[in-house]
Amino acid sequence: AQKITQTQPGMFVQEKEAVTLDCTYDTSDPSYGLFWYKQPSSGEMIFLIYQGSYDQQNATEGRYSLNFQKARKSANLVISASQLGDSAMYFCAMREGLTSNAGNMLTFGGGTRLMVKP
Amino acid sequence: EAQVTQNPRYLITVTGKKLTVTCSQNMNHEYMSWYRQDPGLGLRQIYYSMNVEVTDKGDVPEGYKVSRKEKRNFPLILESPSPNQTSLYFCASSFTSITGELFFGEGSRLTVL
């Protein structure tokens, strides 16, 4: 079974509007971390935001926030006030605890390509 | 400057010719990992290492070897490359806690003819 699922292969958003990128995950480990990365056309991987499974509040970093719904096992990325420079691939990833069978691997979803329209 | 450095960045080779992609990090991270990225498949883990002399297979280890003789270095070896190993490869490192953000190298684009 897929550990990380991103159901939106591609999305468009109008500049200055907000957009939500979906991510669901699957784990039986009570201790895990969730990450979002951005990959612009230049190819590098840029860390955006982190959410821990025990964190009480949703993570925020500037225009990025993570809508963490633990019971639904979802960790959607919200980008507010989209900018042209936000056009990129976005990857959701999960890291399970050191004692899990995953052995501390960081597993990625298939990605969502976001295109911001001027 | 904290960084993960991988070389070469671009390589075209032929089937069967052994090659090594080097990876080095200067952040004293215990955890290092290799991923390959293919269109529509996201990033898939090839091998990872929790510390010196400790390596484990990821999701797609076939056709690859790694070694971790020093903490800072984690080379990826293709003993006999084949065209299906044409891909974009990323090396990454982090601390081993669940909060450990992965730091990525710039990527190595490999073409096997």
Q: What is the mean pLDDT of residues A69-90?
A: 97
Q: What is the mean pLDDT of chain A?
A: 91
A34 has pLDDT over 80: yes
Q: Residue B46 burial (CB < 10 Å; 0-12/13-18/19+)?
A: buried
Q: What is the mean pLDDT of residues A57-78?
A: 96
Residue B65 confidence (pLDDT): 97
Nearest to A90 by CA among A22, A18, A2, A17: A22
Q: What is the mean pLDDT of chain B?
A: 93
Compute the distance between CA of residue B102 and CA of residue A2 in angstroms, rounded to an integer: 20
Tokens 């898939």 -> residue? B44
**How many contacts does A have with B, using Cβ atoms within 8 A?**
66
Smallest CA–CA distance, residue A53 to chain B, in Å, is 9
DSSP assignment of A39-76 equals: E-TT---EEEEEEETT-SS--EETTEEEEEETTTTEEE
Q: Chain A partners of B106 at a C-beta cutoff of 8 Å?
A: 43-44
Helices (H), B3-64: none
Q: Chain A partners of B56 at a C-beta cutoff of 8 Å?
A: 103
Contact B74, B23 (CB under 8 A): yes
Smallest CA–CA distance, residue B100 to chain A, in Å, is 8
- For residue B81, whether the previous peptide bond is cis, meaning omega lies within 30 degrees of 0, is no
Predicted confidence (pLDDT) per residue in B85-102, tens digit: 999 999 999 987 777 788
Q: Chain B partners of A88 at a C-beta cutoff of 8 Å?
A: none
B81 has pLDDT over 90: yes
A60 has pLDDT over 60: yes
Q: In B, what residues contact A, Cβ < 8 A?
A: 31, 33, 35, 40-45, 48, 50, 56, 58, 88, 90, 92, 94, 96-104, 106-107
Predicted confidence (pLDDT) per residue in B48-59, tens digit: 998 899 999 988
Candidates A9, A35, A43; nearest CB to B101: A35
Best B4, B23, B43 member to test A by mutation, with max A CBs in 10 Å, is B43
Q: What is the mean pLDDT of residues B1-17?
A: 94
Contact A108 B40 (CB under 8 A): no
